[in-house]
């Protein structure tokens, strides 16, 4: 016999509430891990500068500017413009990068109306983790500056 102590005996409703709460938490964590917390830069980045440039212009030609916008080296560019980039919490950096991707996609939208042919041969000059590529797309010639990040080539600037 227990005396002087209160013993908590959960009711059936309490157990059901806790079970449903835990199930909801697991479902939310699964959705975030599968879907991610937004678009991630580098989805178009490839192992060679030529492949990145080709993939980028093909996506623009196909009107997939949202995906094409992920080819840019946003963290590289952000570090150049913000000396305290690494001090910004990762979640906030992701929000900044996702905003930059959305802005870039809006800027690329008019290109999709003008670019209606696949890119031609890409000529590249690489030095270390930087490269400059030239490519003819239709009647226009583009110069693309790239940087290598985590074994993938990402776009810094297109002229």
CATH number of the domain bearing residue 123: 3.10.450
125 and 105, same structural domain?
A: yes
Distance between CA 105 and CA 12 in Å, rounded?
A: 52
pLDDT interval class at 97 (50, 70, 90): very high
- Residues 31, 61, single domain; the answer is no
Question: Do 59 and 107 belong together in one domain?
Answer: yes
The C-alpha atoms of residue 150 and residue 42 are separated, in whole angstroms, by 10
Pairing of β 140-149 and β 130-137: antiparallel
What is the reported pTM?
Answer: 0.72
Contact 130, 147 (CB under 8 A): yes
Taking only the tens place, the pLDDT of each residue in 17-29 is: 555 555 444 444 4
- The domain of 22 spans 8-37
Backbone angles phi, psi at 83, to 5 degrees: -65, -20
Q: Are residues 24 and 53 in the same domain?
A: no
Please provide the DSSP assignment of 18-80 as one string. Answer: HHHHHHHHHHHHHHHHHH-SS--TTSS-BSSHHHHHHHHHHHHHTT-HHHHGGGB-HHHHHHH
* SS3 call for 9: coil
Count CB atoms within 10 A of the CB of residue 31: 10
Average pLDDT for 89-103: 95
């Amino acid at each position: 016999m227990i005396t002087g102590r209160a013993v908590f005996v959960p009711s059936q409703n309490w157990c059901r509430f806790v079970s449903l709460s835990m199930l909801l938490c697991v479902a939310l964590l699964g959705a975030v891990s599968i879907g991610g917390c937004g678009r991630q830069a580098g989805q178009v980045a490839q192992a060679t500068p030529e492949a990145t440039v080709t993939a980028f212009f093909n996506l623009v030609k196909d009107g997939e500017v949202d995906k094409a916008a992920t080819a840019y080296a946003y963290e590289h560019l952000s570090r150049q413009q913000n000396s305290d980039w690494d001090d910004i919490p990762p979640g906030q950096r992701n929000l900044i990068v996702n905003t930059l991707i959305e802005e870039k996609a809006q800027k690329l939208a008019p290109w999709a109306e003008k670019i209606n042919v696949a890119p031609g041969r890409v000529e590249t000059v690489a030095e270390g983790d930087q490269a400059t590529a030239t490519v003819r797309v239709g009647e226009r010639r583009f110069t693309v500056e790239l940087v290598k990040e985590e074994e993938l080539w990402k776009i810094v600037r297109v002229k």
